[in-house]
Amino acid sequence: MNDATKRALLWIGADAPALRGALDQEYHVLAGAADVDALVAQIAGEPGGRLDVIATGDGAACALALAAAAPERVGHMVLLAPRLASAPTPVEARALVLVGAADRAGSETGRALKSALPHCHLTYVWGAGADLAAEASGRAIAIVSDFLARGEAFLVRQAG
């Protein structure tokens, strides 16, 4: 698959090399700025259609702001071990929120997101803590890939 046929994926927040490495095969990964206006300008330069967003840690707030500012451009959103300074405001984009099962602060944020976003899937990752994004275990990689590929249908386990 060449870059021209890959779907665009915007990355916001600290890097998670293992996860990015796994997604590089399928997605054209853009590094995102920390400022929403700059992000909107950046994705305006991308070819049409929706692009997906992955945000790690503090990048979650930026991803939510982007989804609110440019709802027509944001497809699926993945928030890894999200950290928010204030209560989330609802956005229409479908979100997967991954939280380490041992991450107590992350659990609070995850619940707040699940409660606030109308299309949100909250998943705890066994064996992970607050460093979920950096570690990006095989479990996390598998569910992120599946969600990006199948959207809400990732709820349904496939045969084989």
Partner 1 sequence: MQFSFFHLMPWTGLDEAPSEWPAPNAGFDGERGTQLYETYISTMAHAEACGFDWVGANEHHYSPYSIMSNCNLIGAALTQRTSDIKIAMLGNLLPLLNPVRVAEEYAMLDVMSGGRLVAGFVRGIPHEYISYNIPPDESRTRMREALNIILKAWTEPEPFGWEGEHYQYRAISIWPKPRQKPHPLMLLSASSEESADFVGAFPAMVGLTLISDLDVAAKIIDAYRASARAHGREVGPQDILIGQQTCICETDEEAQERLGEAAAYFHRVLMRPQQDAQRIILQKTRFFGDENQSAYFQKRLQTIKGRTIKEQIEAGSILCGSPESVVRQIRRLRDKLGAGRINMNMKIGTMPDEVVMRGMELFRDRVLPHVRDL
Task: Output the CA–CA distances (angstroms, integers) from residue 80 to 115, 121, 123, 133, 158, in the order listed.
Answer: 17, 12, 10, 6, 24
**Contact call for residue 156 and partner 1 (CB under 8 A):** yes
CB of 142 to partner 1, least distance (A): 13
Q: Measuring CA to CA, which residue among 77, 65, 12, 70 is closest to residue 43?
A: 70
- Binder to partner 1 among 49, 118, 127, 138 (CB under 8 A)? 118
**Contact call for residue 159 and partner 1 (CB under 8 A):** yes
Q: Measuring CA to CA, which residue among 92, 58, 62, 60 is closest to residue 75?
A: 92
Minimum CB distance to partner 1 smaller for 35 or for 152: 152
Minimum CB distance to partner 1 smaller for 86 or for 158: 158
**Contact call for residue 126 and partner 1 (CB under 8 A):** no
Minimum CB distance to partner 1 smaller for 5 or for 158: 158
